[in-house]
Amino acid sequence: MRRRLRRAWLVVGVAAALAGCTTYGDRMAPVEAAVEEGDPRRAVELLDADSGGAGDRVVDLLNRGALLRMAGEFEASNRTLEEAYDAIAEVDPLSVSESVGSLMVGETAFAYAGEPHERVLLHLLMAFNYLELGDPDAARVEALRVDLRLQRLAAEQGRSAYRHDPFARYLSGLIFEHLGEPDQALVAYRQAYQAYREQGGRLDVAVPRSLQLDLLRLADQLGLDDERDEWQAAFGLESWPAPEAHRAQAHVVVITGVGLGPRKREQGFAVQDRQGRIHSVALPYYEPRRRPLGGVQLSAGEASVPAEPVHDVDAVARILLEEQQGVLAARALGRLLVQKEMIDQAREASPVAGLAMNVFTLVADRADTRTWGMLPAQYYMARVALPPGEHRLELVYQGLGGQPLTRVDLGTLELEAGTYHFVFDRWVSARAGSLTPREAP
Amino acid sequence: MKARIRGALVLLAVAALVGCGHSVERIDRDAEHDLSGRWNDQDSRLVAEEMIADALDRPWLRDFRREEGKRPTVIVGDVRNLSHEHINTRTFVNDIQRELINSGQVDFVADADQRERIREERRDQDLHASEETRQAMGEELGADYMLLGSVNSIIDQEGRRQVRYYQVDMELVSLADNRKVWIGNKEIRKLVRSASARP
């Protein structure tokens, strides 16, 4: 009878405690809802009103920076992302107290330090912001910081499918070209090509056609005839822009982020052993989101070009989590042993203390569902070369059947020969449309 | 086991307390404080002092004074940041301007933005100031030389160690004929070791 009563108390205690315990995903749900309604400013307010503790500082700053960017507050976004960069450096070294804490309460004891791809995207978002602010030199700084980050990534993630970041390299090359540094750009384009080739199968992103044309054109421009012939054989392309023709035209680069990054959720199970202890294991997983987008088309007067997928953030996040699952499961099992000892020690003191400790271990041990969810699921890029003069640009988001979902007037650009113009957009859903604030035409 | 758990809890409490406490103290401008290994105020000041000392010690200055019989007038142009970090080149430019002006060997004119604001003030004086106190348009001092420069960096990293190498290049260009009359550079190397563990 006493044993049954104790078990009943345990069940009630666990249920009560779990009901009041929220994960990071729960906390972010209203923020995400505000974004999906097309109101990133409201999302920032909601995030600020319910920010997490010190351990969540990095993920909160990353999400805040992305939201401010969506709201068109580029300087504030960069200040926040720079804070995130410094905060990551602070929590990067392994913490003794967090390691000890993780043995009792799980992965959430660790301060969030950003996933490998998030640490790269931090710099890309900052580069986008600087380009929007008309400060390409500062965007160049981000390209160099990305290079440092990617060097460390290759060393730390040597066996991972994500040990290079092709889009980061490609964007760096474009920034160098924008600043008139074709030799630096060629190096970055080569690295981008290698990375796309290496990861293409796993991450479902092909070498963009525009990158192939850039490699051929720059090899031509820099007099690297053998290299140009190799690229031509590899790509099977018969023609590409001549360097003189390239200089005579203006170049528009449209980059758009679509959708929202995947939601991290918790999956777990609980078992009761013969001594009446209840053990649970909770692991994170990414909840799939529907992808309603079939493609993106850029129009500039007569010219119309399809945007190419250049970065699948969603796929990278999933693969990185898959790669971590073995380590997370092993750590969860190790935690079970420690928790068993803690429950037994408490039981020795009194059965009630044992019960309380069991409830504590069940409640505290939650999967780490923190993630930079305000990133887009994918990035698309469209490139178009136009004669100098005024051009009106339009971006069309298409559904899976090719039907237009959203038309975005990107405004009229006054273009000069030989210059690069970066235009950015952010699309979350057909309902919300483009979130990027623009002046009325 | 009981003792071990107690030990772990004590360790946790100590670790949590280690980070506590916030304090502020005024420090001497010249005291060396390099917290992160990044470019800092001291790097900016030292580079400016050394480069300007070098620039003023070179023949172009003596040659100009001999030929023109006056002090040269200098303006600071672009100092580009081509390094791996966001450096506030404005503070560096200010350090250079201060060193040049305080040397007393050159005259210095306001940069393009400042000139616009001063001209606006003169236009205002034309309308509102008395004739005796009004400053006339078209009497500005034209610069003889423009100082241009860049900050570059190379970073070599392995694990948690980084060697950060900064190179600041400056050059003085004659506005009359584009001649470069002085080129200087200053290098700084820093070895940065990041902690591998924290409390």
For A163-173, what is each residue's pLDDT tens digit? 999 999 999 99
- Binned at pLDDT 50, 70 and 90, residue A20 comes out as very low
Task: Convert the pLDDT of each residue in B63-94 to its tens digit.
Answer: 999 999 999 999 989 899 999 999 988 889 88
Contact map slice: B 41-60 vs A, CB within 8 A: none
Single-letter amino acid, residue A24: Y
Task: Convert the pLDDT of each residue in B117-144 to its tens digit.
Answer: 999 999 999 999 999 999 999 989 999 9
- Mean pLDDT calculated for residue range A138-151: 95
For residues A32 and A426, the answer to whether their CB atoms sit within 8 Å is no
B20 within a domain of the structure (yes/no)? no
Q: How far is A92 from chain B (nearest CA, A)?
A: 8
- Binned at pLDDT 50, 70 and 90, residue A273 comes out as confident
Is the CB of residue B90 less than 8 Å away from at least one CB of chain A? no
Would you say residue A183 has pLDDT above 80?
A: yes
Q: Give the one of A93, A101, A103 whose C-beta lies nearest to B197's C-beta.
A: A93
SS3 for B108?
A: strand
Q: How far is B152 from chain A (nearest CA, A)?
A: 10
Average per-residue pLDDT in chain A? Answer: 90
Q: Do A97 and B15 touch (CB under 8 A)?
A: yes
B79 within a domain of the structure (yes/no)? yes
| Chain A residue closest in CA terms to B16 | A97
Label residue A364 exposed, middle or buried (CB < 10 Å: 0-12, 13-18, 19+): middle
- Mean pLDDT calculated for residue range A77-92: 96
- Mean pLDDT calculated for residue range A370-387: 96
What span, in angstroms and rounded, lies between the C-alpha atoms of A186 and A174?
9
Q: Do B198 and A152 touch (CB under 8 A)?
A: no
Q: How far is A278 from chain B (nearest CA, A)?
A: 20
B104 within a domain of the structure (yes/no)? yes
Q: Do A141 and B199 touch (CB under 8 A)?
A: no
Q: Do A97 and B199 touch (CB under 8 A)?
A: yes
In this structure, of A195-204, A218-227, A399-408, the range with the lowest mean pLDDT score is: A195-204
Task: Convert the pLDDT of each residue in A300-340 to its tens digit.
Answer: 988 899 999 999 999 999 999 999 999 998 988 888 888 88
Would you say residue A222 has pLDDT above 90?
A: yes
Q: Do B196 and A152 touch (CB under 8 A)?
A: no
Pairing of the two strands A250-258 and A420-429: parallel
Give B3 or A437, the one with higher predicted confidence.
A437
Phi then psi for B133, rounded to 5 degrees?
A: -100, -5
- Write down the ipTM of this complex: 0.73
Task: Convert the pLDDT of each residue in A274-311 to its tens digit.
Answer: 888 888 888 999 988 888 899 999 999 888 999 999 99
- What pLDDT, on the 0 to 100 scale, is given for residue B11? 52
- What pLDDT, on the 0 to 100 scale, is given for residue B22? 64
Is the CB of residue A97 less than 8 Å away from at least one CB of chain B? yes
- What pLDDT, on the 0 to 100 scale, is given for residue B8? 52
Pairing of the two strands B107-108 and B145-158: unpaired
| Chain A environment of B16 (Cβ under 8 Å) | 97
Would you say residue B16 has pLDDT above 50?
A: no
| Chain B environment of A105 (Cβ under 8 Å) | none
- What pLDDT, on the 0 to 100 scale, is given for residue A106? 84
- What pLDDT, on the 0 to 100 scale, is given for residue B29? 65
Residue B78: domain span = 37-112+144-193
- Binned at pLDDT 50, 70 and 90, residue A200 comes out as confident
Mutate to test the interface with B, among A141, A338, A345 (most CBs of B within 10 A): A141
- What pLDDT, on the 0 to 100 scale, is given for residue A395? 96
Q: Do A145 and B85 touch (CB under 8 A)?
A: yes
Nearest to A399 by CA among A290, A303, A240, A302: A290
What span, in angstroms and rounded, lies between the C-alpha atoms of A364 and A109?
9
Total domain count for chain B? 1
For residues B39 and B86, the answer to whether their CB atoms sit within 8 Å is no
B138 within a domain of the structure (yes/no)? no
Would you say residue A270 has pLDDT above 90?
A: no
Q: Do B194 and A93 touch (CB under 8 A)?
A: yes
Is the CB of residue B150 less than 8 Å away from at least one CB of chain A? no
Is the CB of residue B85 less than 8 Å away from at least one CB of chain A? yes
Would you say residue A15 has pLDDT above 90?
A: no
Is the CB of residue A337 less than 8 Å away from at least one CB of chain B? no
The CATH code belonging to domain A2-207+249-434 is 1.25.40.10
Q: Do A93 and B12 touch (CB under 8 A)?
A: no
- Mean pLDDT calculated for residue range A209-220: 96
* Residue A171 token pair: 């964007």
Q: Give the one of B2, B80, B194 whose C-beta lies nearest to A137's C-beta.
A: B80
In chain A, domain spans: 2-207+249-434
State the CATH number of the domain containing residue B72. Answer: 3.40.50
Nearest to B165 by CA among B71, B39, B68: B39
- Mean pLDDT calculated for residue range A193-214: 90
B127 within a domain of the structure (yes/no)? no
SS3 for A433?
A: strand
- What pLDDT, on the 0 to 100 scale, is given for residue B14? 52
Would you say residue A373 has pLDDT above 60?
A: yes
Task: Write down the pTM of the prediction.
Answer: 0.85
Residues near A429 by Cβ (< 8 Å), separated by ≥ 6?
A36, A259, A292
